[in-house]
Structure 1
Amino acid sequence: MPHISMVLTPSFQFLALGVQAAFELANALKGEPYYTLSIASVEGGPVMSSSGFTVPTVKLTEVGQADTLLLMAGLTPPPQQDEATLETLRAMARQSRRVAGLCTGSFLLGQMGLLDGRRATTHWSYARLMREAFPKVRVEDDRIFINEGSVWTSAGLTAGLDLAVALVEKDLGRDMASAIARRLVMHHRRAGGQSQHSELLQLAPSSDRIQKALIHAKTHLADPLTVEELADVAALSPRQFSRAFRAETGQTPAKAVEQIRLEAARLMIEETRHPLDQIARENGFTDLRRMREAFMRQYGQPPQTLRRLARAA
C-alpha cells in the first residue's frame, strides 16, 4: 500500500495540503484503501503555516517506508536548510520511490542536490532566483509540472494538484486520473508540459458572456470560430461582441482565437507524436502552412523546430 508523506517546512503555504484530496479520492473511487497518508516534518510536532495556523506533524524518520515524499514550502522560497535537515531529507528520499517539490518546495530539492543535471520548474516569479541559486539545474518556468525520473517538481500552488493527479495516473491509470479531475471540478487535467501562462488566464475577461465565448473557442478549436459564432455563444450582436471583447481583453476576437490555437497546438507538438498536419487541422489552422506562419509570428520558430527541441529535452 503506497504511503504518501507530505513534508512541511516552517511557513509552508496551507493551500498546498489540498493535494491530499487527489489521493483521498483515489481511495474512495477504488472502494478500498490504496494510499495511506501522513503529514510530517523533519523535527516533528506542530509546524506553523504562512497564515499563522499550526499543523501537527509526525517526525519524518518515524514515518517508516514512504513511497512518495511531497515537499511543501511557503509563498516565498525557503531559506537554506542546515546540513542535518538536508541529510534527513536525502536519506528519506533515497528510501522512497519518488519525491516531489511543490511550488517553492522545488528549492528544497535543489538544496538536497537532487535537481543537479535535471529539468525542474517552480512558480514563474521565482524561476530567475532558482537559476541563480542552482546553476546545474535546467529551470523551465513555463511548465505546470516536470517529471524527471523519480523526481517531480511543480509550478505555483494549484499546479501541485495537477502533479498529484499525475502521480495517481502513474499508479492507477488515466481513467482514474480523469475521474478524480472531474470530482475535483478541475476544468480538465492539465498536462505537465502546459504553459503556466494560459492564454485564457491572460485574457481574463470580466464578464461571464465573454468568458463563455472563450471557453467555447477552447473546446471547438477545429471549427471556424467566426466572430458571428462567438457572438451567438455570448448572446450579443457581432458588433457588440467585438467591442466588448476588445474592452475586456485588449485583443480582437481573431487574435485571441489564434493565441489559444497556438497554445493548444504547441502542447500537442511537444507532448504527442501526432503528425503536424493533423495537429494543424485539429486546432483550426486548416493546413500546415498556415500553422507554420502563425508559429513563426509568435515564437520565431517553425513547429518542426519546437518538436525537435522538446524531444531533445
Structure 2
Amino acid sequence: MLGDVAVLALEGSHAFELGIFCEVFGIDRSDGALPVYDFALVSATGDSVPTRHGFDVRTPYGLDRLSSADLICIPAYDPGVRQPEGLADELRAAVERGARVLSICTGAFLLGEAGLLDGRRCTTHWRYTEELARRYPRARVESDVLYVDEDPVVTGAGTAAGIDTCLHLVRKEHGSAVANAIARRMVAPPHREGGQRQYRERPQPREGTGSLSPLLAWIEAHLDQDLSVDSMARHAHLSPRTFARRFLQETGTTPGQWLTAQRVLLAQHHLETTDDPITTIARRTGFGTVDNLRHHFTRRLGITPQGYRRTFRPPHQQS
C-alpha cells in the first residue's frame, strides 16, 4: 500500500515538477478524509540543493531515507548534470525490495541510468524521447503518451502530464473517489488516460466562444445517451470534419476515444461506489450491453469490470 513517499531533490531540479510531488503527496488533507502520506524531501547531502531556477531547496533528509519509502519520486532535471554516485544503486535496491519509482519528464533519464528502464515501456517529454532512446537502447520508449505504468516503474511526460501521472497512481492505490477529490482540491482535471497524446507544437484552439469546454461538460452529463460524432458535431454547431479537427486540437485525442475513456471512467466510479448490477452500469455508462462494457473496460484497464470491483472497491463496502 502506498504510504511512505520520498521525493528526490536533484541538482538542477525543475521547480514545477518537484512541486507536483509535494502538492499531491506532501499535503495533509485529512480534513477531507483523504490519505495522508509519510512524506520526505530527500537529497544526496541532506542539505540544500540548487535548482535550475537560481534558488536552493533545503531538504531535511539524505539518501538513507529512501530505504523505507514505498514510492520514490524523481522530478525533471538537466540530464547533463551528473548526479551523485550511489544514487542509481539506491534506486535499484528500492525496486528490488518492492518499492515503486515514479519520474516526471527528464527524471526518466535517472531511471535509465539505474537500468530500471531496460526492457520496459516508458516515456518522457516529447522533446527528449529520441535522446532517451539513444542513451538507453534497451528501454522501450513511447514518444507520444502522457504516462506509462510498468509497475513498479512509472514514467510521466512533461510538466502538466506529471499531475496526470501522480493522480493515476493515487487512483490505482486508493480508487477514483480519492483521486478525483485530490484533483478537485488542486483544480485539475480528474483523469486523463496515459495513452492520450502529449500536446505538441500545433495551432492553439481559440479561446472563448471557440472552446469546446461547454460541449465536453454536456457530453459528460449525457454519457448514457447514443452519442455519435455527427450528433456531437451538431450540438457544437460544427460540421463533423471541423468538429473532429478542433476536438483533437483541444483534447489531444479523437472524439470517439475521448468518449470511450469518459464512459470507462464513469463505469469505474459506479463499480467502486454502488452495488448496481453490471447490466445497469453498462446501460448508465452508454455501453449498452455487458459485452460491450467488458470489451472496452478490459482493453483500457487490463481487468474486467467484475475484477475491478473486487480489487478497487473499499473492503468495508464489499459484501
Structure 1 and Structure 2 fold alike (TM over 0.5): yes
Q: Kindly indicate whether residue 25 of structure 2 is the aligned counterpart of residue 23 of structure 1.
A: yes
- CA distance, structure 1, for counterparts of residue 258 and residue 185 of structure 2: 24
Q: Which moved more, 1:83-92 or 1:121-130?
A: 83-92
Are the counterparts in 2 of residues 144 and 192 from structure 1 also a CA contact under 8 Å? yes
- CA distance, structure 2, for counterparts of residue 169 and residue 308 of structure 1: 18
Give deviations 1:61-104, integer Å, cap 9, x for gaps: 14551111001232x43445465332233334434521111111
- CA distance, structure 2, for counterparts of residue 262 and residue 193 of structure 1: 14
Number of residue pairs aligned between Structure 1 and Structure 2: 262
- CA distance, structure 1, for counterparts of residue 6 and residue 301 of structure 2: 32
Q: Kindly indicate whether residue 41 of structure 2 is the aligned counterpart of residue 36 of structure 1.
A: no
Question: How far 1:30 sits from its partner (Å)?
Answer: 5.2
Give deviations 1:28-71, integer Å, cap 9, x for gaps: 35547631111101232111111111111221114551111001
Q: Kindly indicate whether residue 213 of structure 2 is the aligned counterpart of residue 215 of structure 1.
A: yes
- Aligned match of 1:156 in 155, 158, 179? 158
Partner SS, residue 252 of structure 1:
helix
Q: Which moved more, 1:22-31 or 1:131-140?
A: 22-31
Q: What is the aligned partner in structure 2 of residue 48 from structure 1? A: 50
Question: How far 1:193 sits from its partner (Å)?
Answer: 2.0
Question: How far 1:197 sits from its partner (Å)?
Answer: 2.9
Are the counterparts in 1 of residues 95 and 152 from structure 2 also a CA contact under 8 Å? no
Partner SS, residue 153 of structure 1:
strand
Q: What is the aligned partner in structure 2 of residue 2 from structure 1? A: 3
Q: Which moved more, 1:155-164 or 1:7-16?
A: 155-164
Are the counterparts in 2 of residues 66 and 95 from structure 1 also a CA contact under 8 Å? no
Q: What is the aligned partner in structure 1 of residue 147 from structure 2? A: 145
TM-score (norm. length: structure 1): 0.70
Q: Which runs of 5+ in 1 are unaligned?
A: 232-237, 243-250, 273-277, 284-303
Q: Which runs of 5+ in 2 are unaligned?
A: 220-226, 268-281, 288-294, 303-319
Partner SS, residue 10 of structure 1:
coil
Q: What is the aligned partner in structure 2 of residue 127 from structure 1? A: 129
- CA distance, structure 2, for counterparts of residue 63 and residue 118 of structure 1: 22
Name which one, 1 or 2, has greater alpha-carbon Rg: 1
Q: What is the aligned partner in structure 2 of residue 71 from structure 1? A: 74
TM-score (norm. length: structure 2): 0.69
Q: What is the aligned partner in structure 1 of residue 232 from structure 2? A: 225
Give deviations 1:191-231, integer Å, cap 9, x for gaps: 22222138xx95523431112xx12343456261346x435
Q: Kindly indicate whether residue 264 of structure 2 is the aligned counterpart of residue 264 of structure 1.
A: no
One-letter identity of the residue aligned with 2:152: S
Are the counterparts in 2 of residues 23 and 168 from structure 1 also a CA contact under 8 Å? no
One-letter identity of the residue aligned with 1:197: Y
Are the counterparts in 2 of residues 13 and 50 from structure 1 also a CA contact under 8 Å? yes
Are the counterparts in 2 of residues 80 and 111 from structure 1 also a CA contact under 8 Å? no
Distance 1:64 1:91, change over 3 A: closer
One-letter identity of the residue aligned with 1:215: S
Q: What is the aligned partner in structure 2 of residue 292 from structure 1? A: none
Give deviations 1:237-294, integer Å, cap 9, x for gaps: x8xxx9xxxxxxxx8346434764154268689999xxxxx9xx969xxxxxxxxxxx
Partner SS, residue 232 of structure 2:
coil
One-letter identity of the residue aligned with 2:73: L
